Every structure is written in C-alpha cells, then in structure tokens.
Amino acid sequence: MNNLWGGSIAEAARALNSSIGVDSRMWREDITGSMAHAAMLAKQGIISQADGAAIQAGLSGILADIESGKLAIDMTAEDIHTFVEMELTARIGDPGKRLHTARSRNDQVATDLRLYTRGRIDELLGLVRQAVSAIHDKAAKFADAVMPGYTHLQRAQPVTFGHYLCAWAMMLVRDAGRLADARKRLNQCPLGACALAGTTFPIDRDSTASALGFEGPCLNSLDAVSDRDFCVETLGALSLLMAHLSRMAEELVLWSSLEFRFVTLPEGFVTGSSIMPQKKNPDMAELIRGKTGRVYGDLMGMLTVLKGLPLAYNKDMQEDKQALFDGLDTASLCLSVLAPMVEGMTPHRSAMRKAAGAGFINATDCADWLVEHGVPFREAYAVAAGLVHQGKPLEELTLAEYKAACPAFDESVYAAVDLDACVKRRRLPVAEQLAFLETFLKED
C-alpha cells in the first residue's frame, strides 16, 4: 500500500490520481515545511520533545540523502507529501506517524507550492536582472548609433540603437515589478488551515509562518487551502514577460537577416542548415518567440482549472502544478538564453546608419523646419510630401529644387535634414534611461 488513507485504488485510477511525477520537485519545500510544522507541534506540547527531535533528525536525514542522491524519490508514491511521510516513518517509526497531527495535505500542498513559487520568482528576478544588465551594457555602447525607428515596420523617424534597446529594458523592468508584486501577495502561510476548517489543537500559526519566511498566516482557512491566485498571478506576469521576450526575439530575427544586417548574433546562439551551407539560423530567438504560446497556454489552463470550483480544496487543483512549473521553467530557460545572446551580439553601426539614411526618415524634420519658418504644419507636411515623391534624398536636393517646392526654404534646411542633427534635436534621453537602469540593477 502506498497511499496515506489506507484504501486501495484501481490501477488506472492510480495513474490519474498520482501527482508525484509533477510534484516531486517540491521535495525540499515539503521537508522544510514539515520541519517547521513539527517544531511548532513540539513547542506547543502537542507532540513530545523527544518525538519532535526524532522527526527533525529524520527529516534532515531525508533532506541530506535526497540532496546527495543517496535517496531516490519513489515514483510509485501518490505524491511528494506521501513519499516524505512514509520515508520518515520507515526511518524513525512511531514519531513519524505523529508528524501529520493538526495538518492536512491541503494546507501542506498550498504551503509547499507557495514556498516553491517564491523561490522560483527570486530566481527569475535574478535572470530578469541579468537580461536588463546585458541590454543596458549594449545600449551604453551604442547610445549614439543612428538607426531608423519604425512604425508599421516602415522606416519612420531616426532614433539610436541605445534608445531602442532601452525600450526593451523598460519592458523587463515592469516585468520584474509584476513578479515582485506577485511574490509579495503570495507570501502568507496556509499552514494551520488544515483540511479546510482549522484544527482543535492549540497550534501557533505565527511561529510556522515566520519560520518559513512568510509575512504571517493566511487569515481565512477556507481561502488558505483553495487560493491559487498566486499561480495565476505568477503565470500572468510570466505571460507578459514572454510577450516581451517574443517581441525582442522577433526583432533579433529580423535584424540578423541579410535584409537588415543590423546585428550578427553570436556563435553558439545560431545554427547551421543541414542543406544550405550559407545559413545561420536564429533558432534560439525563434524558439523564444515560439515558446511564448506555451506560457499563455499555461495561464489559460490554470485559470480554467479554477473556474467554478466550490470552496474549499478540490482535487482539480492538483492540476495547478503542471501549468505553473511549465510556465516557470519555460520563462527562465528563455531568459537565460536571451541575456547572453544580447551580450554577445554584434551591432553594425554602418548598416543601421545606411538604413536610416534611406527612406526619408528626415521628412518630418523638413516639415518641422518650414513650421519654424512660419508655414502652417499642414502646408509644410504637403510640401515635404511633395519633395519625398520626387524620390531624391532630402540631403541631396538643390536649393533651387527646395525653393521650387516652397519659397520659404533657405540654406539652413540642410542642417535640419542632416541625419545626425535630426537625431540630436530629438533629445532622446538615453543617458537618463541608462541611469534609471543602473538604479534598478542596484536595488535588491
């Protein structure tokens, strides 16, 4: 028998019921949670000091043995909670059977999952920081590299590569804020809610909560065991993070193509073709883009599990972990590839500049010059549009051609349509953004 309630279960039902294949990764959180619970039971006199000590020793032994690889998790156990408790009782006998006093797997799993998610959010925040740092460094180096900015993927107005990259970093800074926000709200301890209605034993919920680094216990026991908002919030933050990564990835795919040639992606992040010798495919960027859908699916799956569930715990909720873990794994994998890929990419100033020099991205500046010389904007716009339609770069038009379009033009228009001057006059706040990012990177 390998379940905790003592009955038997049909083979196919066991396969459906079992969650150890997914939740075994929470072994550390499960053991830590049990240690905090057992310490509290002993402190409150609910179990004897001797039993408490035996449980602590047994659990630390299990922790050490799993860590060292000496103990393999038995995948025929129903879930990780069952495995740890059964292993403990096999090792220390009767005291092990007292561990589950004043606890249920319902508050136990909710606690484990919050602890696990909290740890993964901290890890993800570190990865977001690494990505922001890589983007910051590249932006600082190419702060003044002129490139075309786009709308509708049509060359629109000139910006710099540094300014462009800072836009990426801004997205990630907001993602970090959302993850930190989810972490703040999840940091309450379900332990003591027990199955759904608390317990008659004189437990101390504050002590378990603080031992596990939570802000305090969840106030409502029904809510404590049935709340999976933190899964949804985390997946929501991860979905938006992936949306951002996919947009960056798409630009890397475009920019590294021969058509753009704005960047060369680093060796190790591109693959060759099995048939076309000239190819350097941006597979990693494409996969980041492609995996975004997975995380959206995880979010939808999680929301759908929760829809219409009555209070309190329902077994449907066991499905929370697969979605959450997949979202966490996918996002951290993608971030850990994006950061070194950005760090190692080689931007090509001349290609960017060349693209900025064609496509009339200084047409607005030409119209603005006329406005500054008294021509109403709508008329100025029409004059500039007429010049663009002649098909000759605005820098190369003769003064006679300018004057034919509008007598208000004079020599000083050349300074206005000069690419570097166009960029300078926009006063793109790259230095301020870099300073903002440096502050973000210093915060903990």
Contact residues: ligand ARG, CB under 6 A: 19, 23, 79, 105-106, 109, 313, 315, 317-318
Name residues whose C-beta falls within 8 Å of residue 385's C-beta, 6 or more positions apart in sequence.
363
* Candidate list 8, 152, 274, 350, residue with the active-site label: 152
Pair of tokens at residue 351: 């290609």
**In this structure, which long-range contacts are made by residues 227-230, counting pairs with CB atoms below 8 Å and at least 24 apart in sequence?**
227/110, 227/190, 228/302, 228/305, 228/306, 228/317, 228/320, 229/185, 229/186, 230/113, 230/114, 230/117, 230/182, 230/185, 230/186
Complex with ligand ARG: residue 112 or 365, whichever CB lies closer: 112
3-state secondary structure 404-424: HHCCCCCCCHHHHHCHHHHHH
Active site includes 221? no
Q: What residues are paired with 271 via a beta bridge?
A: 281
- Measured distance CA(336)–CA(134) in Å, rounded: 11
Contact 432, 136 (CB under 8 A): no
Complex with ligand ARG: residue 100 or 155, whichever CB lies closer: 100
Distance of closest approach, residue 186 Cβ to ligand ARG, in angstroms: 16
Distance of closest approach, residue 260 Cβ to ligand ARG, in angstroms: 48
* Candidate list 48, 257, 273, 412, residue with the active-site label: 273
Distance of closest approach, residue 439 Cβ to ligand ARG, in angstroms: 41
- Give the SS3 label for residue 193: coil
Complex with ligand ARG: residue 34 or 318, whichever CB lies closer: 318
- Give the SS3 label for residue 327: helix
Complex with ligand ARG: residue 82 or 246, whichever CB lies closer: 82
**In this structure, which long-range contacts are made by residues 68-73, counting pairs with CB atoms below 8 Å and at least 24 apart in sequence?**
73/20, 73/24, 73/27
Active site includes 152? yes
Of 360, 428, 344, 443, nearest to 397 (Cα)?
Answer: 360
Complex with ligand ARG: residue 79 or 326, whichever CB lies closer: 79
List residues with catalytic annotation: 152, 273
